[in-house]
Amino acid sequence: MQIIRRDLEREWARSGERVRIALGPRGRVVGSRIAGRVQVPHPIPPDAPQVVDLEFEPPLTSAFATEGRFNGMEWIDDDSIGWWAEAQDPRQDAVLVADAMAGCKAESGFALTDQRVAVIFPEHLLVSFREARTSARKERNLVGQALSAANDWAFTSNKWSLRDKVVSLWEADAQRVRGWSRLLAGRGFPFAELIRLDFVDGSTLFTLRHKLDYVEGVVT
């Protein structure tokens, strides 16, 4: 199934742009290890866009994680973590991805095309979008409001649903991604299946693979 990919191609992708990786929400937070310092969840930057209160809460993060006691790939065994950034400097790309994901309350996604790499998020879950829509409705006449009421349900659901229009919260040139691969890791069988994305600057982003993911070159 390639539902997330089709959603990107329908409205987000530019004309002629080819989607190579499409990863939807994990329902889990992003963690990071930057110059050896573990942060779970990864801190929300002060300039992060405000997100509406979502209909669910991600699993609680263990004290083992919040105290930064992870070594190696031990984060895989924590049910609250769905993304992981490894870097030596906070200015590296994997950290910038984690920054963009941190404020999304576990509902962020990731996309890579032949032109750009991006953190994606449903537009209707942004507070700025809700406020702009409310302001626009106030400017319409009563007839216009009645005609648009049938479509309002699509913008009042506080979760990421299939076919939602997504926007980029962060994006950069696709050439900043060196490559990607699939790997198995973890301490118990069956092992966790991961997608690893390597950036040119030496940083790395990991995520737990989901059945709705599309990753070019990786057999589903």
The pLDDT of 39-58, averaged and rounded, is 85
What is the tally of structural domains in the chain? 1
Reduced to 3 states (helix: H, G, I; strand: E, B; else coil), residue 161 is: coil
Does residue 155 or residue 193 have the better pLDDT?
Answer: 193
Angle 42-45-51 (CA atoms, 0-180°, nearest 5)?
A: 90
Alpha carbon distance 68, 108 (integer Å): 23
The answer to whether residue 219 is domain-embedded is: no
More confident residue, 7 or 156: 7
Q: Is the pLDDT of residue 207 over 50?
A: yes
Note whether 111 and 58 are within 8 A (CB): no
Position 218 in a domain: no
Answer yes or no: is 25 within a domain: yes
Binning pLDDT at 50, 70 and 90, where does residue 145 land? low
CA-CA distances (angstroms) from residue 123 to 13, 60, 64, 110, 158? Answer: 14, 26, 34, 14, 11
Confidence class for position 161, pLDDT limits 50, 70, 90:
low
The pLDDT, as a whole number, for residue 212 is 86
What pLDDT score does 171 carry?
Answer: 97
- Domain span at residue 174 reads 3-213
Mean pLDDT of the chain: 84
